[in-house]
């Protein structure tokens, strides 16, 4: 179970709530906890707290609801599960309302059993409800009832909600710029992931199972104090490397093949996300190296281009051009690079974006386009750089490279003067990566 507040100071969450309350105007924000998910019948998945609820409150328990209302005596109201010793025997100790008030600094805390009775009045006055539909069936019904009452009474009384707005309209911009404590967690998650990759690279050899590398990575994360993998670890060797989200990890590594490993530790709910591609035997073939060098050159150029004032779209466009120029050099495409990019001729081989935001979520929140214009990078933003080329068997124009998949990914923090490569301690140059293979300490 995650610790309340996740190691952050209570003041961190108070400041975040103050910023959020200032932006709500005549609105109310309702954030339910993430649902508990089940593998089958009564067998649960490990619980993962809701990112927005945690960001504003530090709450990590299930079956909770936070409400923020500006201008009220009780601006922060929290609903949590009551103490129940019989259930706590199975699921662990709960905070309960009294302890929750002390830990989270809420103005009012109620048992979740009182949600229907007490939440409805909190929604009766504001004009807008910031709420994510589908977050909770129970809360959905209460919000829907509030809207119905507002529609019926609003024209005469001039009060009551008339609209539901996605909370991301207020929270995403805050979360996009990481605070110092968040950056520290991201650095630690990156360092843990780098060390785990080194261990997995050292254990790589023909005959090793993809699942064995997965186990080494995931076990290394936990041994280093992380929560575990932040997403399903990908270990794709041979043609499996051409399946972007391959997670079966069920094949045996074969001499002469490449293996793509995409994994990241989650630490205090914050994520790293690294991909490296390396030869099972420790030696690239000529075709493998040629493809690898195209991808690695594009990755290095994208990292170098990351600075305040640049745009995510600009970095992706430059990466597309470099990758397309590489495909021309490889003899896979022919023609003018700009024309080929405009026609999307590279997409069968490079089908994904170069970057995604990184933070509390692996694919973190934040618009890539604002007001019709590409997002301009600013200090505190964290995102991935991950170009890749994939040559699926059966594509005639690339038969020479059939079955080769290469992706190289780093995590970068935009700084005041450029960027910090959070995962740069793990080599990406072909010879340096190959030299780590099979060198278990």
Q: What are phi and psi of 9, to 5 degrees?
A: -70, 145
CA angle 383, 386, 391 (to 5 degrees): 160
User: Can you tell me the distance from the alpha carbon of 380 to that of 388, in angstroms, rounded to the nearest whole number?
Assistant: 26
Q: In 3D, which of 148, 89, 138 has the Cα closest to residue 117?
A: 138
Which long-range contacts does 21-25 make (Cβ < 8 Å, 24+ apart)?
A: 21/68, 21/70, 21/75, 22/70, 23/170, 24/68, 24/69, 24/70, 24/126, 24/130, 24/170, 25/70, 25/128
Q: How many CB atoms are closer than 10 A to CB 40?
A: 6
User: Can you tell me the distance from the alpha carbon of 305 to that of 410, in angstroms, rounded to the nearest whole number?
Assistant: 14
pLDDT in tens, 27-44: 999 999 999 999 999 899
Paired with 420 in beta bridges are 413
Asked if pLDDT for residue 439 goes beyond 90, the answer is no
Residues taking part in catalysis: 42, 245, 262, 273, 352, 356, 363, 386, 390, 407, 409
129: Cβ contacts below 8 Å, ≥ 6 apart: 27, 28, 29, 30, 123, 143, 146, 147, 161, 163, 164, 165
Asked if pLDDT for residue 250 goes beyond 70, the answer is yes
Q: In 3D, which of 386, 305, 387, 392 has the Cα closest to residue 348?
A: 392
Confidence of residue 151 (pLDDT cuts 50, 70, 90): confident
Mapping DSSP onto H, E and C, the string for the chain reads CCCHHHHCCHHHHHHHHHHHHHHHCCEEEEEECCCCCEEECCEECCCCCCHHHHHHHCCCCCCCEEEECCCCCCCEEEEECCCCHHHHHHHCCCCHHHHHHHHHCCCEEEEHHHHHHHHHHHCCCCCEEECCCCCCHHHHHHHHHHHHHHHHHHHHHCCCCCEEECCHHHHHHHHHCCCHHHHHHHHHHHHHHHHHHHHHHHCCCCCCEHHHHHHHHHHHHHHCCCCEECCCCEEEEHHHHHCCCCCCCCCECCCCCEEEEEECEEECCEECCEEEEEECCCCCCHHHHHHHHHHHHHHHHHHHCCCCCCEHHHHHHHHHHHHHHHHHHCCCCCCCHHHHHHCCCCCCCCCCCCCCECCCCCCCCCCCEECCEECECCCCCEEEECCEEECCCCCHHHHHHCCCEEECEEEEEECCCCEEECCCCCCCCHHHHHHHCCCCC
What rounded mean pLDDT belongs to the chain? 95
What is the reported pLDDT for 397?
Answer: 77
What is the reported pLDDT for 441?
Answer: 60
Domain ranges of the chain: 4-174, 177-436
pTM given for the model? 0.95
* Positive/negative CA dihedral, 12, 377, 364, 408: negative
CA angle 188, 189, 195 (to 5 degrees): 90
Share of the chain above pLDDT 70, in %: 98
CATH 3.40.50.1580 fits 4-174, yes or no: no
What is the reported pLDDT for 152?
Answer: 81
Paired with 357 in beta bridges are 383
pLDDT in tens, 58-74: 999 999 999 999 998 99
Confidence of residue 237 (pLDDT cuts 50, 70, 90): very high
Asked if pLDDT for residue 270 goes beyond 80, the answer is yes
Token pair for residue 221?
């994360």
Token pair for residue 197?
């990759």
Confidence of residue 153 (pLDDT cuts 50, 70, 90): confident
Q: Among 87-96, 171-180, 277-286, which is the least confidently predicted range?
A: 87-96
User: Can you tell me the distance from the alpha carbon of 43 to that of 37, in angstroms, rounded to the nearest whole number?
Assistant: 9
What integer is the mean pLDDT of 141-152?
91
What integer is the mean pLDDT of 71-94?
93
Longest dimension (CA), the chain: 77
Asked if pLDDT for residue 254 goes beyond 70, the answer is yes
Place of tokens 């024309």: 339
What integer is the mean pLDDT of 290-306?
98
Q: Kind of pairing, strands 65-68 and 76-80?
A: antiparallel
User: Can you tell me the distance from the alpha carbon of 418 to that of 256, in angstroms, rounded to the nearest whole number?
Assistant: 39
> Helices 96-104 and 10-24: crossing angle, nearest 10°?
90
Confidence of residue 297 (pLDDT cuts 50, 70, 90): very high
Class of CATH domain 177-436: alpha beta
User: Can you tell me the distance from the alpha carbon of 385 to that of 408, in angstroms, rounded to the nearest whole number?
Assistant: 8
pLDDT in tens, 299-352: 999 999 999 999 999 999 999 999 999 999 999 999 999 999 999 999 999 999
pLDDT in tens, 155-197: 666 677 889 999 999 999 999 999 999 999 999 999 999 999 9
Asked if pLDDT for residue 440 goes beyond 90, the answer is no
What is the reported pLDDT for 379?
Answer: 98
What is the reported pLDDT for 158?
Answer: 63
């Amino acid at each position: 179970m995650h610790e309340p507040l996740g190691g952050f100071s209570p003041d961190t969450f108070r400041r975040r709530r103050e910023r959020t309350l200032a932006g709500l105007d005549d609105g109310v924000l309702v954030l339910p906890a993430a649902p508990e998910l089940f593998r089958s019948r009564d067998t649960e998945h490990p619980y993962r707290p809701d990112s927005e609820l945690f960001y504003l409150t530090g709450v990590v328990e299930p079956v909770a609801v936070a409400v923020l209302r500006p201008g009220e005596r009780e601006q922060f109201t929290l609903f949590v599960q009551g103490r129940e010793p019989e259930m706590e025997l199975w699921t662990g100790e709960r905070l309960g309302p009294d302890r929750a008030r002390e830990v989270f600094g809420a103005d009012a805390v109620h048992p979740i059993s009182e949600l229907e009775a007490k939440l409805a009045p909190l929604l009766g006055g504001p004009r807008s409800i910031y709420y994510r539909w589908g977050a909770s069936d129970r809360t959905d019904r209460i919000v829907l009832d509030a809207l119905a009452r507002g529609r019926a009474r609003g024209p005469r009384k001039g009060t009551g909600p008339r609209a539901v707005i996605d909370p991301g309209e207020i929270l995403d911009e805050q979360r996009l710029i990481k605070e110092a404590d968040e950056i520290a967690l991201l650095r630690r998650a990156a360092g843990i992931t780098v060390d785990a990759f080194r261990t997995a690279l050292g254990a790589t050899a023909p005959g090793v199972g993809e699942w064995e590398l997965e186990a080494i990575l995931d076990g290394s994360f936990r041994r280093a104090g992380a929560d575990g993998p932040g997403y399903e670890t990908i270990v794709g060797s041979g043609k499996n490397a051409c399946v972007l989200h391959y997670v079966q990890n069920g094949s045996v590594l074969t001499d002469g093949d490449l293996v793509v490993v995409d994994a990241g530790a989650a630490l205090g709910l914050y994520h790293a996300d690294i991909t490296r591609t390396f030869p099972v035997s420790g030696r690239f073939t000529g075709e493998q190296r040629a493809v690898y060098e195209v991808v690695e050159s594009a990755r290095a150029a994208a990292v170098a281009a990351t600075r305040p004032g640049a745009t995510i779209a600009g970095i992706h466009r430059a990466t597309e051009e470099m990758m397309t120029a590489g495909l021309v050099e490889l003899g896979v495409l022919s023609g003018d690079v700009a024309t080929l990019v405009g026609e999307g001729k590279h997409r069968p081989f490079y089908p994904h974006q170069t970057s995604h935001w990184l933070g509390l979520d692996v694919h973190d929140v934040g618009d890539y386009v604002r007001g019709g214009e590409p997002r301009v990078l600013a200090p505190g933003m964290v995102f991935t750089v991950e170009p890749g080329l994939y040559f699926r068997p059966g594509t005639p124009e690339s038969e020479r490279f059939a079955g080769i998949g290469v992706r190289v990914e780093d995590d970068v923090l935009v700084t005041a003067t450029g960027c910090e490569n959070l995962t740069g301690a793990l080599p990406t140059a072909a010879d340096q990566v190959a030299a780590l293979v099979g060198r278990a300490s």
